[in-house]
Structure 1
């Protein structure tokens, strides 16, 4: 790659940090990459460029990319560093730099939407359930509420149902790992924590939804994978949103996985919290030191 030009709107320290995270960039073809402080990056590069391969090999996630025209590819991804906002490029023509920046702004920051999933990677909400910290990424408005969904709500719904189907696993694992990396209660106790999914109603759904997800999230977060800590002995009916129903009697527990550990319980949806409460109480009885709940979405209760 030709000489890289860094543009950072804030301070010299940020410029140095930006350069530090990309010390050995060697990318074919022309490229311009924008970064923002939310952990997202946007790129426009020539189709012959190996920019996407470079980022994938370094653990960043290309969420979506597509041909902008016959010569150019445009896309968006998630990176690990959220301390700066700026961009870099290897274009010699300043007018071309402005045009490429304008193209990216139009594609990803205007009403012209091409991304079908939410990419915000901070926990939106915090709450306590029976003294246990619970965090979630997005608010979820069910179709049954009858209100017209916004574009962002449609993106959340789309990602939620893909997660339920065991799809978009790389993206959901990345969103969770980035959000978790900003929570001191998790990062400070990472070495003696364990990831355990709140089991689905059936073994097939549980395997489909969480097996690969837990493996990928464990690799990204550095926290032990506890998928096998709980086994579904018999399938049960779906009890979503119900209260006062036993949701753990069909489960077999293996305390050696979580005894004296901080358990991080993960699920797709937080509705009433009944399943989380029953499971967290049981895990504590069996020796878990503490429990934290992490959810993709929290259902907004219908006010009507």
Structure 2
């Protein structure tokens, strides 16, 4: 009976110690995460964020993943790659609005510029020129076609200034803004939760003569690439040939938290 009591007492002490350790570990994670959010420099932000991740703070794991997309993303800005059989390049990483509180000011500024492009407040000429340069295509007379939006008004508002720039400043390039008729509104896939998994409703028709033209697609955000593949199929059904696609941003993917922790702990062990 006495041995049983000692065993219960020992288990109670161990449980209490584990609770105390867990409590202070959580407190340390919260403090490090708060310090990371308040950090004045990128180096301090990274250091405190890593400490918070090692303390098991879940939001810190997301912050680290978003801050170090180079560790977790397969593709880099302005470095062409293939998607759905199309040569693709994007200008920068796009972070959905649900992650805004975890971003640094540079990331927020990029997302603001992308939203301004979507709303027609940012002409997008800088992004267009940078992506076209990164593609390193020859001087063939490419036809620039713009991804149809959720309605006709947004389509014209978003791309009208790029259309003007291409027509007036890009010799050998032609704009296909008016090759497409957006005939009815549809829900925006980017704004809907789980939109990357939804079936695209085709709310447009190609009315211009694009037969024989080499086409470059322009769009705001690359997520799954399904809408790009659908547009490519329709362009090629109408006689055009899609040679590339450029995007203002590519939506970042958030890996499993266990992988983020493994990367942080691996870096700590390697340098420590």
- The aligned runs of 1:47-196 (5 Å cut-off) are 124-145=78-99, 148-169=102-123, 172-185=124-137, 187-189=138-140, 191=141, 193-196=142-145
The equivalent residue for 1:214 is: 163
Structure number with the bigger relative contact order (C-alpha 8 A, sep ≥ 6) is 2
The equivalent residue for 1:46 is: none
* 1: CA distance, partners of 2:85 / 2:100: 33
- Work out whether 1:242 is the aligned partner of 2:193: no
Unaligned runs of at least 5 residues, structure 1: 1-110, 112-121
Alignment length (residue pairs): 178
Q: Is the 8 A contact 2:78 2:131 kept in 1?
A: no
The equivalent residue for 1:201 is: 150
Output one character per residue of 1:64-109: Cα deviation in whole Å (capped at 9) or x when no partner: xxxxxxxxxxxxxxxxxxxxxxxxxxxxxxxxxxxxxxxxxxxxxx
CA RMSD of aligned residues (A): 2.3
Pick the structure with greater CA Rg. 2
From the superposition, tell whether residues 251 and 156 of structure 1 become closer, same or farther in structure 2 (CA, over 3 Å): same
From the superposition, tell whether residues 263 and 129 of structure 1 become closer, same or farther in structure 2 (CA, over 3 Å): same
- The aligned runs of 1:34-45 (5 Å cut-off) are none
Which structure shows the higher helix fraction? 2
Please point out which of 204, 217, 221 is paired with 1:269.
Answer: 221
Q: Is the 8 A contact 2:77 2:93 kept in 1?
A: no
Q: Is the 8 A contact 1:266 1:295 kept in 2?
A: yes
Please point out which of 161, 171, 174 is paired with 1:224.
Answer: 174
Q: Is the 8 A contact 2:181 2:204 kept in 1?
A: yes
Deviation at 1:146, TM superposition (A): 6.5
* 2: CA distance, partners of 1:175 / 1:236: 26
* 1: CA distance, partners of 2:253 / 2:144: 28
Q: Is the 8 A contact 1:181 1:221 kept in 2?
A: no
From the superposition, tell whether residues 243 and 221 of structure 1 become closer, same or farther in structure 2 (CA, over 3 Å): farther
Poorly superposed stretches of 4+, deviation over 6 Å: none
* 1: CA distance, partners of 2:198 / 2:122: 33
* 2: CA distance, partners of 1:298 / 1:231: 26
Q: Is the 8 A contact 2:89 2:247 kept in 1?
A: yes
Deviation at 1:197, TM superposition (A): 0.7
SS at match of 1:166: coil
Which structure shows the higher strand fraction? 1
Please point out which of 205, 214, 218 is paired with 1:252.
Answer: 205
* 2: CA distance, partners of 1:166 / 1:230: 18
